A = this chain, B = another copy of it.
């Protein structure tokens, strides 16, 4: 089965053949679309007869309110870059860098964008425990003028230790270098772990956020960037096409950021389910190690079976999982699982436990 570079392709073998596959490869909130968006869909639909506000004033205000409420930071409109998915924001941020350092294994798109836009791409590998190697990052950063890493990092789920990371930010600030932190999954980490609290201190810091994962709507495509380097943000905004976020993306975000119930429910779920799922996974016969994660996905090292074989076996059971061999630094002994709701997780664990390898 040919898969997309981004993970399980549920279309080729699944949807387009009308076969219902359950997707354990994409790390999406299993609660699905927030009710606040669902309940307003007809009103939102009716707004499509007009162009969106080209300044996206209401959308920006809802982002500002959201960060003030949940992260105690006061952002300003001109510190925000809106994107048609986090992909667009990542591209614009990475395109501003000449010599890029990528901390790996991490999201494959960093590397693709690096090769597309930067003069050179270097790598700092996670340490043996799959945690950030701050000393190595700082050392490698000396030959680069920008870096990117995740908080938390995908596919591992490790997070940035802010105290240790400040040394890197201080260095970047003093040397006019950029640090891009991809926080697409940050809300899953529970109480405020975001680096937004540092945004006013470090003009060198560029944070990427999205509604894709936490608000369960990868089909909507909305992400945004944050930086207090207002000059840079202005130039970046000017480089964008007009109306790059459609009416649905605009209002999906506005509704989501205001949906207290959905946000609370999700944080409660991941808090409980992560422990349950991780514990169960570690008892499986073909699991050698379950890596520490702060997030809604789990990286696993296999024993006695390759990721490719496990993938095929799972497919037979109606599940798509994420082979991790195309992440730089990993190989076919690793796979990544998404975490879903308890019922699905139990069914999945039962199915995977019964696989004869």
List the one stretch of A40-48, A66-74, A323-331 in contact with chain B: A40-48
Chain B residues with CB under 8 Å of A242's CB are: 6, 87, 109
Q: When chains A and B are docked, how far (Å) is the Cα of A247 from the Cα of B252?
A: 12
Chain B residues with CB under 8 Å of A33's CB are: 45-46, 48-49
How many Å from the CB of A69 to the closest CB on chain B?
A: 23
| Most B Cβ at <10 Å: residue of A84, A221, A249 | A221
Contact B218 A91 (CB under 8 A): no
A86 and chain B: residue at smallest CB distance: B241
Q: What is the count of identical protomers in the complex?
A: 2
Residue A10 CB within 8 A of the other chain: yes
A249 and chain B: residue at smallest CB distance: B246
Taking CB atoms and an 8 Å cut-off, the chain A residues in 16-48 that contact chain B are: 16, 23, 26, 28, 32-33, 37-38, 41-42, 45-48
Residue A356 CB within 8 A of the other chain: no
A11 and chain B: residue at smallest CB distance: B53
Residue A9 CB within 8 A of the other chain: yes
Given A219-B247, A246-B248, A53–B84 Cβ distance below 8 Å? no
Size of chain A's interface in residues, with CB distance under 8 A? Answer: 52
How many Å from the CB of A61 to the closest CB on chain B?
A: 11
How many Å from the CB of A142 to the closest CB on chain B?
A: 30
Cross-interface CB contact of A28 among B9, B49, B244, cutoff 8 Å: B49
Contact A53 B248 (CB under 8 A): no
Cross-interface CB contact of A219 among B15, B41, B88, B246, cutoff 8 Å: B246
Residue A50 CB within 8 A of the other chain: yes
Residue A354 CB within 8 A of the other chain: no
How many Å from the CB of A289 to the closest CB on chain B?
A: 29
Cross-interface CB contact of A84 among B11, B26, B84, B247, cutoff 8 Å: B84
Chain B residues with CB under 8 Å of A220's CB are: 48, 246-248
Residue A4 CB within 8 A of the other chain: yes
Question: What are 7 inter-chain pairs, A to B, with CB distance below 8 A?
Answer: A16-B57, A28-B50, A48-B217, A49-B217, A84-B241, A84-B246, A246-B246
Starting from the known contacts A33-B45, A50-B218, A219-B246, 18 additional A-B residue pairs (CB-CB under 8 Å) come to A6-B51, A6-B242, A26-B51, A28-B50, A37-B45, A38-B45, A41-B41, A49-B217, A50-B219, A85-B243, A85-B246, A87-B244, A88-B241, A109-B242, A219-B248, A220-B246, A220-B247, A220-B248
